[in-house]
Amino acid sequence: MTTLPSLWPLAGIAIVVIGFALRANPLAVVVAAAFGSGLGAGLSVPEVVAALGKAFHQNRYVSVPWITLPVIGLMERAGLQEQAAALIARTKSATTSRILLIYLGFRQITAALGLTQIAGHAQTVRPLLAPMTEAAAERDNPAITQDGRNKVKAMAAASDNVGIFFGEDIFLAIASILLIKGFLESAGIIVQPLQLSVWAIPTALAAFAVHGGRLLRMKP
């Protein structure tokens, strides 16, 4: 019988779950959770502040992609969204389902080749994909409600996520493959990245079938 560790450091997880369930402001929830776990693990308040500050500083790279916003805004200013919508409104064969299906396949294949950064929510979904799918939905269902538009736009963002998540692991040098390899190696099990990435293919196909099937059944 192993002894049970102290459970107090888990306070942060409880705070996260409750905070998100109550729909409190996520920034406040995260800070509260950091203090919950930190104090639960025996750190003092100044120690938690310092640990948070150190981690926030080290994780600046997470916020770097925001530097693309001025470019996206400049393109929108010139009418990129309107042009994308006009192009789709003229192309009758481009239905909401087909646009998203093609994008899903494109995102999975390019991610499998390691090109995860060539598309994304700021770079492609907001300026191109969302206006295109919205225009197709409007054309095929002129009586669409605002709620219907929002659902279509949310599905555009969802398709980007599904595409990248279940494509990138086929690429050999992606962080998650290297993490699995490194973990197994530390346990004395040597595997090659190729062995791991091959096992990402069935799930990638299943993701295209499952999410693609949902896209085809979607009614604008």
Q: How far apart are CA 122 and CA 66, in angstroms?
A: 8
Q: How far apart are CA 136 and CA 153, in angstroms?
A: 11
Query: Should residue 22 be labelled a site residue for other proteins when binding is judged by CB under 8 A?
Result: no
Query: Should residue 167 be labelled a site residue for other proteins when binding is judged by CB under 8 A?
Result: no
- Separation of CA 145 from chain center: 26
In this chain, which of 137, 171, 207, 220 binds other proteins, going by CB under 8 A?
207
**Quick check: 218 and 155 in contact, CB under 8 A?**
yes
Q: How far apart are CA 215 and CA 207, in angstroms?
A: 12
Query: Should residue 37 be labelled a site residue for other proteins when binding is judged by CB under 8 A?
Result: yes
In this chain, which of 60, 143, 145, 219 binds other proteins, going by CB under 8 A?
60
In this chain, which of 18, 44, 73, 102 binds other proteins, going by CB under 8 A?
73
The footprint of other proteins on residues 132-161 (CB under 8 A) is 150-151, 153-158, 160-161
Stretch that binds other proteins, among 91-99, 135-143, 206-214 (CB under 8 A): 206-214
What is the full DSSP assignment across 79-109? THHHHHHHHHHH-TT--HHHHHHHHHHHHHH
Q: Any residues with CB less than 8 A from the CB of 27 and at least 6 apart, and which?
A: none
Query: Should residue 123 be labelled a site residue for other proteins when binding is judged by CB under 8 A?
Result: yes
**Quick check: 170 and 204 in contact, CB under 8 A?**
yes
Minimum CB distance to other proteins smaller for 90 or for 92: 90
DSSP 2: P
Stretch that binds other proteins, among 90-98, 137-145, 208-216 (CB under 8 A): 208-216
Which amino acid appears at position 78 of this protein?
A: A
Mark residues 178-197: x for contact with other proteins by CB under 8 A, - for none.
Answer: -xx--xx--x-x-x---xxx
- Kindly state the number of chain residues that form the binding site for other proteins, as judged by CB under 8 A: 117
Tokens of 172: 């050999």
Query: Should residue 89 be labelled a site residue for other proteins when binding is judged by CB under 8 A?
Result: no
In this chain, which of 52, 109, 144, 172 binds other proteins, going by CB under 8 A?
52
Smallest gap from Cβ 208 to other proteins, in A, equals 11
Query: What CA–CA distances, in Å, run from 205 to 104, 116, 158?
Result: 11, 18, 17
Query: Should residue 90 be labelled a site residue for other proteins when binding is judged by CB under 8 A?
Result: no
